[in-house]
Amino acid sequence: MNVPQPLQDATERGIVVRVNEYDDGSVIAVDLGASAGEIAVDVVDETAIVVAGEQQFEFDVPPEANLVTENNGVLTIAE
């Protein structure tokens, strides 16, 4: 699964993005950091909207993804 471009661009702001490949799929993990504060994730049609503190990201959810969640400052996109 490819990392959406807005999340790739976020690495320039110190956000860590990792892709983990497994036999049954892959997971994109985006560590927004402790300073992100409360994080809200909403998926509308094929677009994910993530608000983390003063930062906002909008991106097309990869077609193979079936889950977009947040837990403890880490955004997870999984297939």
Which pLDDT score, from 0 to 100, does residue 19 have? 96
CB 22 within 8 A of CB 76: no
Q: What is the pLDDT of residues 3-58, one digit of tens each?
A: 999 988 888 888 899 999 999 999 999 998 776 778 899 999 999 999 988 888 89
Q: Where are the alpha helices (DSSP H) in 1-79?
A: 5-9
What is the CATH classification number for the domain harbouring 73?
2.60.40
pLDDT for 35: 67
Identify the domain containing residue 47 by its residue range: 5-78
Question: How does pLDDT run across 58-68, given as a tens digit for each residue?
Answer: 999 999 999 99
CA separation for the pair 50, 59 (Å, rounded): 9
pLDDT at 68: 95
DSSP code for 10 = G
Give the C-alpha separation, 77 to 4, whole Å.
10
Number of domains present in the structure of the chain: 1
List the structure tokens of 10. 């976020």
